[in-house]
Amino acid sequence: MQEFTIEIGQARIAGWRREGTGTPLVLVHGFAGSRLDWEPVIAALPGDMSLVAFDLRGFGASTAEPGQPFAHSEDLLALLGTLGLADADLCGLSLGGGTVLNFALNHPARVRRMVLVSPLMVGWSWSTEWITRWKMIGRAARSGNMPLARQLWWEHPLFETTRGGPEAARLRAGIDAFHGHQWVQDDQRPERPEVDRLTDLAIPTLLATGSRDTDDFRLMADLIGTAGNTVRRVDFEGAGHLLNLEVPERLAREMAVFLR
């Protein structure tokens, strides 16, 4: 994998690129994560597959200018342009799933196929339980107690099944490395709720979900799965939110078949 950095305004986006065959697959990680989260999946994908994995603005090794409004999907558009990719296959996890879904709805001609892994949707109306936990984490972060904020995130029901699995140490290390700025201030621009746009989805899509994911994400997946006639859903029994860490080999097999 070859490392790269690109400049988008005052932000710097860092990533990896692997030259190979076929349409490049671009991997987009989830909240508080980085491209490192895809390593177990990359290891299980065909070795000749063309790949790009990058850190979203403000995560991992990518930087963000505080107070500068932005959209992750527009950063993705700039990334494809800078790398000279007219189109790509996109795969996003959680926040990354919301990013690639938003991109596909805004720029459908740039996407050949799409894989959504436990995706969120832009503009989602979160449950009371989710909001309550999110506010607890935010209060800890804004008070300067970032270790407590990270601990509360680690203990979130979202990661219940991952905490007891073989990749728990990887998850914990990623959370401990997260600076947490987005819990204090998030500069993403408001977007039109995507629940109103799902009927526009016409791109062949693989929707990968875990049967033990949280209610919010299960409901989002249900809506995505029934709204588009080009969506094929694979539900992994017993798995939770982070399929990339819990069932990476099985996820990679499904992806490889779907993309090729």
User: Helices (DSSP H) in 32-167: which residue ranges?
Assistant: 39-44, 72-83, 95-106, 128-142, 146-154, 160-163
Residue at 124 is within a domain: yes
How far is Cα 77 from Cα 54, in angstroms, rounded to an integer?
Answer: 13
Please determine, for residue 166, whether its predicted confidence score (pLDDT) is greater than 80.
yes
Question: In this model, does residue 43 exceed pLDDT 90?
Answer: yes
Tell me the per-residue pLDDT of 239-255, one tens digit each, with 9 for 90 and over: 999 999 999 999 999 99
Judge residue 224's burial from the number of C-beta atoms within 10 Å of its C-beta, 0-12 exposed, 13-18 middle, 19 or more buried. Answer: buried
Q: How much is the mean pLDDT over the chain?
A: 96
Q: How confident is the model at residue 190 (pLDDT cuts 50, 70, 90)?
A: confident
SS3 141: helix
- Give residue 59's domain range: 2-130+187-259
DSSP lists the bridge partners of residue 14 as 5
> Does residue 119 fall inside a structural domain?
yes
- What amino acid occupies position 211? S
Q: Which positions ≥6 away from 8 have C-beta within 8 Å?
A: 57, 75, 78, 79
Region 93-105: what's the mean pLDDT? 97
Taking only the tens place, the pLDDT of each residue in 218-228 is: 999 999 999 87
pLDDT per position as a tens digit, 79-89: 999 999 999 99
DSSP 190: P
At residue 92, the pLDDT reads: 98
7 domain residue, yes or no: yes
pTM of the model: 0.97
CB of 6 within 8 A of CB of 12?
A: yes
The pLDDT assigned to 132 comes to 98
Number of domains in the chain: 1
- Taking the C-alpha atoms of residue 69 and residue 67, their distance in angstroms, rounded to an integer, is 6
- pLDDT value of residue 227: 83
Task: Tell me whether strands 111-117 and 2-8 are parallel, antiparallel or unpaired.
Answer: unpaired
Q: Is residue 115 part of a domain?
A: yes
Residue 111 lies in a domain: yes
Helix (H) or strand (E) holding 234: strand 231-236
- CATH number of the domain where residue 47 is located: 3.40.50.1820
Whether 253 maps to a domain, the answer reads yes
Query: Could you tell me if residue 178 is inside a domain?
Result: no
Task: Establish if 50 belongs to a structural domain.
Answer: yes
